[in-house]
Amino acid sequence: MKAIFSSLILTFFIIACKPTPVDQHLEEVPKENLLEILLEGNQRFAEDHPIHPDQTLTRLRDLAKGQHPVAAIVSCSDSRVPPELVFDQGLGDLFVIRNAGNIVGDYEIGSLEYAIEHLEVPLVIILGHTNCGAIGAFVDHQHDHSHHYSEYIQKIIDFIESEEEEQALPRDIPDFYEKAIEANILHGVHALKKALPSVDSLVAEKKLRIVGAIYDMETGKVRVLED
């Protein structure tokens, strides 16, 4: 009985001393586990029990000395898709670039280059979402060219339309909208790899991982896309 009691005490001590997501800052996580940790955070968010790590005044003051984000995320400007909340992360954890349609053009690639080369982030996520308004405008334009958008919205539509991944999609498939969202995400992944020569070697050396993912508006869950 004494041996069993001692074993229970030891087990409790080990569990109590093990870092929890609250205790462990994201930059302390091994880089090969980062995507898994972010998806675990998303699961907490989707199940409605987030822990809101690293959102304290102490964390804020520590970050005044410098930032060390562990992931760069290109996401849509949609107010319903804030990456820090979606992945249940805190201040200084994510380097986020947002625009309508999470498109990856020259300016976004420039920001990603800064994150990769200067901040040395080991993970890049191109994050789209279901029911995307920018992709919806592109889809509507494909079916009805008579509709006129304002100049700058039309530029977004034209950018999406010019993507090779979008051009390869048959226009008559029943799930064209959903496939167009995925194609736009994959375009971002491909565009980044093509634009930055250093990316291939970093990926080969397992110093960098680039993935596309889609956030489901109904469930709150993020799904990684297979390229």
Q: What is the pLDDT of residues 9-40, one digit of tens each?
A: 444 444 334 444 455 577 788 888 999 999 99
> Residue 115 in contact with residue 124, Cβ under 8 Å?
yes
Percent of the chain surpassing pLDDT 70:
89
What mean pLDDT do residues 42-52 have? 96
| pLDDT value at residue 146 | 76
pLDDT of residue 9: 46
> How would you classify the pairing of strands 222-224 and 209-215?
antiparallel
Question: 71 or 62: which carries more pLDDT confidence?
Answer: 71
With 60 as the cut, is the pLDDT of residue 45 above it?
Answer: yes
Give the pLDDT score at 144: 80
63-83 in b/e form (b: 16+ CB < 10 A) is beeeeebbbbbbbbebeebeb
d(C-alpha 109, C-alpha 192), whole Å: 6
* pLDDT score of 92: 94
At 226 the pLDDT is 83
In this predicted structure, the answer to whether residue 222 has a pLDDT above a threshold of 80 is yes
Average pLDDT for 66-83:
96
Q: What is the mean pLDDT of the chain?
A: 89
DSSP class per residue in 135-153 = HHHHHHHHH-TT----HHH
Strands 209-215 and 123-129: parallel
pLDDT of residue 60: 86
Tallying the residues shown for the chain, one arrives at: 227
* 152-182 confidence digits (pLDDT tens): 999 999 999 999 999 999 999 999 999 999 9
Alpha helices in the chain (DSSP H): 2-17, 34-46, 57-63, 83-86, 106-117, 133-143, 151-162, 164-167, 176-195, 198-204
- Lowest mean pLDDT segment, chosen from 94-103, 137-146, 156-165, 178-187: 137-146
Domains and CATH numbers, the chain: 33-224 (3.40.1050.10)
**pLDDT value for 16:** 39
Q: Which residues have a Cβ under 8 Å from the Cβ of 90 and sit 6 or more positions away?
A: 26, 52, 53, 54, 55, 59, 84
If you average pLDDT over residues 93-108, what whole number do you get?
A: 98
